Amino acid sequence: MTNLKKEIGLFGGISILAGIMIGSGIFVFGSLILVRVGYALGLSLLAWLIGGIITLFSGLTYAELGTMFPETGGYYVYLRRAYGKKIAFLSGMMNFVLSSSGSIALLALIFADVLSYMLPIASYVKWIAALIIILLSVVNYFGIKVGATIQKVFLVAKVVPIIAIIFIGLFMGTETVSFSLQQTGDVSFFRLLTMVAFGVVGTLWAYEGWTNLNTVAGEMKNVKRDLPRALSISTLLVTGLYVLFIFSLYRIISYDNLVPMAESGTILPIAAMMTLFGEPGMSFVLIAVTVSVFGALNGSVMVFPRVYYAMAKDDTFFPQFAKLDPKYQTPFVAIIGSGVMALILLIFNVEQLLTFVVFGGLIFNSLIFFSVFLFRKRNPDLERPYKVWGYPYVPIIAIVGLMGLLVATLIESLVPSLIGFGVLVLGYILYHLFMIRKESTEL
């Protein structure tokens, strides 16, 4: 039987995770978080830090599952073993139709939109987005080693400008960053907690992508050793970069200017670099965002089709998606299908795609974290090369964090969320029709 090649080492795993996590969020969500915490700089930094801690706890929980079941397919494998084929199929269907394919479409649109600030292509943003999806699908067709190499290169290329901005802010910035709660005005303690929580919800969008290394666990050279390490190192690295990055911006932009900028949704890194260096500073940030988004997009195109491959091998998806290219050993049909679905979703706008990306993951990741408790009870003797640190509190905190984000998403984006529910209902119907037809054929 032909299997996927094991090509991913520790640095490759870190590159995949950090490369997907560091996308557009850290550049464009600074204003959003500051507004949500009532323009209190200290609370804003706290929100980014708590978001990273929740992501770390989520990653540690995922690491236990990934080392227990070191198979390509990630979340689908865990849901399949914990709850059966029906729930696993619904999760895969949601990701194929909306969440994962929507993430590819969203990143491609952001990439093309940022590129339009530098080149006269504003009228062709969706065409450029489509072209980049096709290009990266072709690149990843030629093997995960090629895609992983791109991740390594672009991880370095995106981290360098972020570190540069951090150093510029720390050593050239002259503003004092106040941690006083007086900036929030006269609010109750409960209101203060609510503001921080709402800010954390926003930061979790920027930390998205930490689940994706588990999806290609079957292609890691030493998954039992490297998966937990890659998850921990990547999350700690990204959290540190995010908090220092936001702090450095506050060192450059005065508080009196920050408030109106945040209200208008200004991209704070651009404003900060323009404050110090004018137009060249703006160009520097735009190039950094373009590189960052491209790396995240390549990682998404690389890992998402592996889930559909695992589903097809498990007879819960189109059987053609289980085919591997005889030369490159890649799930080429799944890669093509994922790319086509992402191209279709380009009909939606950025806000709608963002909800699609978040919605399905919140529901099914919560079920995945709960499965750790199920496996501990059902299979106490199952080999666990890594046990989640801080059990049971770490998984519980991760579940509570995701539930808070789900509630916020339902409140803020009701219609796209209802579309997500509609896809789940459709998937439920299709599953039963598919299984009934299959069972009748076997009889």
- Note the pLDDT of residue 46: 93
**Least confidently predicted of 27-41, 331-345, 366-380:** 27-41
143/35 Cα distance (integer angstroms): 43
Q: Which long-range contacts (CB under 8 A, 24 or more apart) does 115-118 make?
A: 115/290, 117/286, 118/283, 118/286, 118/287, 118/290
pLDDT at 217 over 90: no
CATH numeric code, 10-442: 1.20.1740.10
Tokens 């992501």 correspond to 55
pLDDT at 341 over 50: yes
- Note the pLDDT of residue 3: 57
Tokens 């981290």 correspond to 159
- Note the pLDDT of residue 158: 73
Which DSSP symbol is given to 40?
-
Record the pTM. 0.77
pLDDT level of residue 136 (50, 70, 90 thresholds): very high
Mean pLDDT across the stretch 6-15?
80
pLDDT at 1 over 60: no
pLDDT at 2 over 60: no
The full set of domain ranges for the chain reads 10-442
112/114 Cα distance (integer angstroms): 6
pLDDT level of residue 394 (50, 70, 90 thresholds): confident
Instruction: Check residues 375 and 6 and name the one with the higher pLDDT.
Output: 375
Q: How large a percentage of the chain has pLDDT more than 90?
A: 21
Q: What is the 3-state secondary structure (H, E, C) of 207-248?
A: CCCCCHHHHCHHHECCHHHHHHHHHHHHHHHHHHHHHHHHHH
Residue type, 241: L
- Note the pLDDT of residue 137: 92
Mean pLDDT across the stretch 158-169?
87
pLDDT tens column, 24-36 = 778 878 888 898 8
pLDDT at 374 over 90: yes
Q: How large a percentage of the chain has pLDDT more than 70?
A: 92
- Note the pLDDT of residue 18: 80
pLDDT at 443 over 90: no
| Six-digit token string for 112 | 């093309």
- Note the pLDDT of residue 69: 84
Contact indicator for 211, 77 with CB cutoff of 8 Å: no
**Least confidently predicted of 154-168, 209-223, 310-324:** 209-223
pLDDT at 247 over 80: yes
Contact indicator for 146, 7 with CB cutoff of 8 Å: no
pLDDT tens column, 252-302 = 999 999 989 988 878 888 889 988 898 888 888 888 888 878 877 887 888
pLDDT level of residue 336 (50, 70, 90 thresholds): very high
220 phi, psi to nearest 5 deg: -90, 145
Mean pLDDT across the stretch 121-142?
91
pLDDT at 81 over 60: yes
Helix (H, G, I), strand (E, B), or coil: what is residue 69? coil
Mean pLDDT in the chain?
A: 84
